[in-house]
Every structure is written in C-alpha cells, then in structure tokens.
C-alpha cells in the first residue's frame, strides 16, 4: 500500500527544506492548507506558474490565489485598504481570500493573475504551509490541487489520486480541517462575496458593519469558480432528493436517514462543519466505489450550509431535474 504514495512526504523540517528547494527551482508541489490542498509554486516565476496551469489543465483566463506569510511581504505587491485591515486583523491567518488591486511594481507573475489589475491573496493557517512560507523569499501561487472543474482534494492521498506521478512531492499535512475552499471577498469596491466559505457573510458583516454584497448570477465571468460546472465528482449529481437513483448513491444529512450501503451521511448530528469537512471525501469515495450518480438530500442553506450548497449547485448544474 505504502508504495502507491511514494511521493507523499511527512512534514519534517528536512522535508520542508526539500520542498523549499523544489519551489525555488520553479517546480510544483502539493501543499496542505486548512481549507483544501493546493498545487504550490513560486508566484514570482512565470515558468513555475505555467507549470501549475498545465498540470491543472486550467484555462489561462482563470487567475490563481497568491499565498503570503505576512503583511510586510503582501504590501510589496498589493494596495491594501481599511476594509482589508479590519478583516485581516480578525480572520488571518485563516480561510479567507481577498481581491485587491495589484501594485504596478509587483513582481507577481502576470500569468498567475491572468493579466488582471486585481489579485486574489490569502494567508493560510495550516502550520506546515506557514513554515514553508517562512523559508521562502516569495509568496506561493496555489490553486486547489485538482484537475480544473473537478473536486478539490482534502488529503495528501487525494492529490496523488488526482495527479499520480505528475506530482513528485506532496507535503502531508493530514486531512484538511475545513474541507471547502476559502471564502473569496472582493474589496476593490463595496465588499462583495464571490465564493462562500467557512467565514460567512454574517461573520464579515459583524466586523465591517456594512452591507456585504453577494455575487449575482450574471453570466460575466470575473471569478472563474464562476464557470458553471465546477466541483464535479465525475458522475451526475442531483440535488434536494429523498432517494438515490438506480445504481446511484445517496448523500444524507442528519438523523432521520437510515444507513445502508448506498447512503453516506455527511453528519448524523446535523453539524455543518462536519458536513463541509466530509463532503468532497465522500463524493470521491462514491465515485471510486463505482456508483453511477449521486443524489443529495436538502442541506440547510445557512452558515456553512451556504458554501456547501454553492458547491453542490455547481456540481449538479447539468442535471437540474
Ligand atoms: O481555499 C482556497 O482558496 C484554496 C487553497 C489551496 O488556498 N485555493 C483555491 O484556489 O481554491 P482556486 O484556484 O481553486 O480558486 C481560486 C478562485 C478561482 O475561482 C479564481 O477565479 C478566483 O479565485 N480568483 C483568483 N484571482 C481572482 C481575481 N483577481 N478576481 C476574482 N477572482 C479571482
Ligand atoms: Mg479550485
């Protein structure tokens, strides 16, 4: 069994130094964060960033998130503002990404930002990746470590399942605590949530004390998580169901559902944190077991449930009925 995962490395000091060397050579590694695993590379290097896009089969118009270790380094690349400072003080490091204007003098690869004037930045909380960032003189560009439009990985093994030998080094930081990608908030104008996550619109409102907009469903793609089919497990997904389809699996939530071999409960105690943490893992497991589709029961649309439903809506986009 162990042989399958020869490219997964425990996060010892020696291995973090190895990771640093690989990144400094403009190669790409798998890194753990508290949200999901990322495919990390030197954000100042066009050559590293090109490799990320190629590995992920990511459309070049879809910019990457840049991961920083501290404010001092961020300020070299980005214009900050008051809303940002308030949110930074309350939530960073943590599962939130900010869209801000890029400084014209910034060294961030223009390929990473898809030529945009804005840039998505975040301060990850996972100790392993924070330790890695501390060893580096540049930020890390890291999208989620999955092939474009598929499910994000929540363990080092998921990253290897996704890329096999094409990824030579994954730092093992265990199972991601949150299990869904960071909240994205655009702060270039009135605060606007572009992607729901563990830090909710309510949490943000409590700090900024002003209306928090949420992305409308316009067709303009300014944040590509906004491509319609996304978070796709590889088989059709149907929402708000009471039963599985023939040869299909059933994702449930709460006590009222009985367990059988087709049913996968996100949280018997109806805990949305637990459900978020298990969602992608369970969808991957269902696909691996050979089920032909996934029916999902109704999930409460509040708190972290909004982030779960946002992902599921995109995953089920083609199968509305
Ligand atoms: O939790 C996370 O955010 C993970 C971990 C690895 O940090 N990363 C992640 O990256 O989810 P990715 O690339 O899978 O999703 C980043 C999203 C994409 O939808 C991208 O379009 C959006 O951020 N984005 C990046 N730059 C942007 C910009 N300048 N304006 C608007 N959206 C942007
Ligand atoms: Mg992604």
pLDDT in tens, 173-230: 999 999 999 999 999 999 999 999 999 999 999 999 999 999 865 444 455 445 678 8
Does the Cβ of 252 fall within 6 Å of ligand 1?
Answer: no
- Mean pLDDT within 265-293: 97
- Is the entire prediction scored with pTM above 0.75? yes
In this predicted model, what pLDDT tens digit does every residue of 150-162 receive, in sequence order? 999 999 999 999 9
Query: CA 294 to CA 234: how far, in whole Å?
Result: 10
The CA dihedral of 8, 12, 15, 19, to the nearest 10 degrees, is 90
H or E element: which one contains 227?
none
Strands 192-195 and 183-186: antiparallel
Q: Residue with the nearest Cα to atom 30 of ligand 1?
A: 223
Ligand 1 atom 31, closest CA: 223
Residue 64 has pLDDT above 50, yes or no: yes
From 91, 114, 144, 310, give the residue whose CB has the most ligand 1 atoms within 8 Å, as the site to mutate: 144
Domain ranges of the chain: 8-208, 237-319
Is the distance from the beta carbon of residue 142 to the nearest atom of ligand 1 less than 6 Å?
Answer: yes
Alpha-carbon gap, residue 161 to 177, rounded angstroms? 20
SS3 content of the chain, % helix, strand, coil (to 5): 30, 15, 50
CATH number of 8-208: 3.90.870.10
Backbone phi, then psi, for 250, in 5-degree steps?
-125, 120
Query: Could you say which ligand is closest to the alpha carbon of residue 194?
Result: 1
Q: Is the CB of 119 under 6 A from ligand 1?
A: yes
d(CA 259, CA 278): 16
Q: Which of 279, 273, 270, 266 is nearest to 312 (CA)?
A: 279
Whether residue 30 has its Cβ less than 6 Å from ligand 1: no
Q: Which H or E element spans position 42?
A: strand 38-42
Domains 8-208 and 237-319 belong to one CATH topology: no
CATH 3.40.50.11030 fits 237-319, yes or no: yes
CA of 180, nearest ligand number: 1
Instruction: Determine contact, residues 64/112, Cβ cutoff 8 Å.
Output: yes
The mean per-residue pLDDT over the stretch 136-155 comes to 97
Quote the CA–CA distance of 148 and 228 in Å, as a whole number: 12
């Amino acid at each position: 069994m162990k042989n399958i995962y020869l490219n997964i490395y425990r996060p010892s000091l020696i291995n973090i130094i190895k990771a640093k060397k690989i990144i400094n050579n403009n190669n790409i590694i798998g890194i753990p964060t508290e949200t999901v695993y990322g495919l990390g590379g030197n954000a100042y290097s066009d050559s590293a960033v090109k490799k990320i896009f190629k590995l992920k089969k990511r459309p070049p118009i879809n910019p990457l998130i840049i991961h920083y270790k501290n404010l001092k380094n961020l300020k070299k690349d980005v214009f900050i503002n008051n809303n940002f400072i308030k949110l930074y003080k309350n939530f960073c490091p943590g599962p939130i990404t900010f869209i801000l204007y890029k400084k014209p003098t910034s060294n961030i690869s223009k390929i990473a930002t898809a030529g945009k004037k804005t840039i998505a930045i975040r301060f990850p909380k996972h100790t392993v990746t924070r330790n890695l960032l501390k060893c580096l003189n540049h930020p890390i560009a890291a999208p989620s470590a999955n092939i474009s439009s598929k499910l994000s990985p929540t363990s080092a093994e998921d990253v290897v399942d996704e890329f096999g030998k094409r990824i030579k080094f994954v730092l093992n930081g265990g199972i991601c605590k949150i299990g869904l990608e960071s909240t994205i908030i655009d702060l270039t104008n009135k605060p606007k949530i572009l992607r729901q996550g563990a830090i909710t619109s309510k949490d943000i409102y409590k700090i900024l004390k002003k209306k928090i907009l949420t992305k409308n469903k316009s067709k303009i793609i300014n944040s590509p998580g906004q491509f319609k089919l996304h978070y796709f497990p590889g088989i059709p997904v149907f929402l708000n169901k009471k039963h599985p389809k023939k040869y299909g699996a059933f994702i449930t939530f709460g006590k009222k559902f009985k367990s059988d071999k087709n049913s996968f409960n996100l949280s018997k105690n109806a805990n949305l944190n637990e459900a978020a943490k298990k969602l992608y893992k369970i969808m991957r497991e269902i696909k691996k077991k050979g089920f032909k589709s996934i029916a999902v029961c109704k999930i409460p649309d509040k708190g972290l449930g909004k982030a779960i439903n946002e992902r599921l809506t995109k995953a089920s986009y083609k199968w509305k009925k």
